[in-house]
Amino acid sequence: MQQYVCVRIPRMDDVNIALFEYDRYNTLYFFVMNADEQIYMRYGGRDAESPDTYLNLESIELALTKGLELHGQYQRGELKPKPLPTPRYPREIPLLVERTFARNNCVECHLIGDFQNQHRELDGTLDKPTHMFRSPDIKMLGIFLDVPKGLIVKEAKGAVEKAGLKAGDRIAALNGTTVWTFADLQYAYDMVPRKSAKIELTVDRQGQAVELPVDLPPVWWWSDVRYKQLSIDPRVYFESREMTAAEKKERSLDPEGFASMVTYVSSLAATLKSHELKVGDVVVGVDGAQRDEYARTADGFIRLRKKAGDPVKLDVLREGKRFEMPLTTYKMSFRK
Amino acid sequence: MMRMLNILPVLVAATFLLAAPARGQEGISWLDNYQQALNEAKKTGKPIFLEYRCEA
């Protein structure tokens, strides 16, 4: 570490968010870079399961060692500088200024993402698959990494297995973008347009570069976004889980439907008179819809397909009875 | 929030590892100013290890 200048930034007030663009729902995120603001690599990233799934001492040491090597190449002129993006700062996000700077509140990382999304909602450019489902999970493609070894593949399943990825391969690039760390890979994957049907992985297999065109599975970008639930309206004050095929069969429900079991109800549901769901209820439909191309649960369907303030009707199963229940969605409090 | 706490042992361990006193190095000196880090990197020719940490 003595070979690095180490800097820790806990507040985002004056950060160039165009240069340091990343999913703001990461609790920790690192960049390895140089004095010319050339970024060699990222380190960090997470999945829905845990913020530290991909963080460990071995992989950070690998990244830092590689960073020194890349820095040497840059100093010798062997790495071409990349053009820098036009700088952009949190103070250029009007709602962030109004709701945070003006109140002398801390500019928390996730607030930048939240308010950027709010502006997108206002100007009609919000695309939920892109902006709500940031940092898609590489496991959706079937990539399982040997995490302490960086981007060495431990197991390949599904789409990548079909494409020819093998255990022991090192993922070297995605769609031509070089990747050195999980964070690099996740960021490059996040940059893939959500309507894409194919990506190109380059792997290092025993010193040979091998190109692997991967057919993306349907809804490849989907991930469990509940840990970043602040990001996109509306709020529904309950959580549910996808029912198993056996559970659906037992209750004679559409096997392809988003019938889901309520697992959590916020106390705010009663306070705000949002709905009267109870844990254990099964929501089999929302406004007559029982299946969706993207959503796997009822709360997921509402968050994807409805706007804050929309009243919806739930089709609910409770103790063998099926009935309709109104639900009112809400905006997040910081957006009011 | 509980999940965020899982990361703390890793961080603490990382700090000790990266400080690596057993290897005869001194502890890490963390700057808290980006511009200062750029200046220091220019002066020394070292790369920068930049950490964004949400402390909220």
Mean pLDDT highest for which of A8-17, A37-46, A243-252, B17-26? A37-46
| pLDDT range class, residue A78, cuts 50, 70, 90 | very high
A contact test, residue of B15, B35, B50, B53 with most A CBs within 10 A: B50
The mean pLDDT of A220-241, rounded to a whole number, is 79
A176: tokens are: 């031509």
The mean pLDDT of A133-152, rounded to a whole number, is 95
Q: B26 pLDDT exceeds 70?
A: no
SS3 A131: helix
| pLDDT range class, residue A70, cuts 50, 70, 90 | very high
DSSP-assigned beta bridge partners for residue A200: A213
The mean pLDDT of B26-42, rounded to a whole number, is 91
Q: Are strands B30-31 and A5-9 parallel, antiparallel or unpaired?
A: parallel
CA A325/CA A276 separation, integer angstroms: 8
Q: Which pLDDT belongs to residue A49?
A: 86
Distance separating the N- and C-terminal Cα atoms of chain A: 45
Q: Which pLDDT belongs to residue A336?
A: 41
Q: Which pLDDT belongs to residue B56?
A: 55
pLDDT > 90: what percent of chain A?
A: 64
Which tens digits make up the pLDDT trace of A90-111? 999 998 998 888 888 888 888 8
Best CA proximity match to B54, nearest among B20, B18, B14, B11: B11
Q: Which pLDDT belongs to residue B14?
A: 53
Q: A332 pLDDT exceeds 70?
A: no
- Looking at per-residue confidence, does B6 or A90 come out higher? A90
For chain A, give the mean pLDDT.
91
Q: A180 pLDDT exceeds 60?
A: yes
| pLDDT range class, residue A232, cuts 50, 70, 90 | low
Amino acid letter, A264 = Y
Give contacts of B 1-56 with A, CB under 8 A: 3-4, 6-7, 10-11, 13-14, 17-20, 25-26, 28-34, 36-42, 44-56
The answer to whether the CB atoms of B11 and A28 lie below 8 A apart is yes
For chain B, give the mean pLDDT.
69
The mean pLDDT of A302-330, rounded to a whole number, is 90
CA A33/CA A150 separation, integer angstroms: 18
Q: Which pLDDT belongs to residue A230?
A: 60
Nearest CA in chain A to B24: A2
A121: tokens are: 């909602």
| pLDDT range class, residue A223, cuts 50, 70, 90 | confident
Residues 6+ apart with CB under 8 A from A237: A265, A266, A268, A269, A272, A274, A275, A330
In this structure, are residues A47 and A54 in contact, taking their beta carbons and an 8 Å threshold? yes
How far does A315 lie from chain B, in Å, by closest CA?
32
CA B46/CA A34 separation, integer angstroms: 7
Nearest CA in chain A to B26: A2
The mean pLDDT of A27-39, rounded to a whole number, is 95
The answer to whether the CB atoms of A9 and B52 lie below 8 A apart is yes
- Looking at per-residue confidence, does A114 or A201 come out higher? A201
The mean pLDDT of A298-312, rounded to a whole number, is 87
Taking CB atoms and an 8 Å cutoff, what residues of chain A touch B35?
Answer: none
Main-chain dihedrals φ then ψ at residue A207, nearest 5 degrees: 85, -5
CA A192/CA A19 separation, integer angstroms: 18
Q: Which pLDDT belongs to residue A41?
A: 98
H-only helix segments in A89-165: 94-99, 109-123, 128-131, 158-163
Number of residues assigned to chain B: 56
Q: Which pLDDT belongs to residue A331?
A: 74
Which tens digits make up the pLDDT trace of A144-173? 999 999 999 999 999 999 999 999 999 999
Q: Which pLDDT belongs to residue A333?
A: 56
ipTM of the complex: 0.81
Which tens digits make up the pLDDT trace of A274-298? 999 999 999 999 999 999 877 888 9
Pick B14's closest partner by Cβ from A9, A50, A60.
A60
| pLDDT range class, residue A314, cuts 50, 70, 90 | very high
Q: B19 pLDDT exceeds 80?
A: no
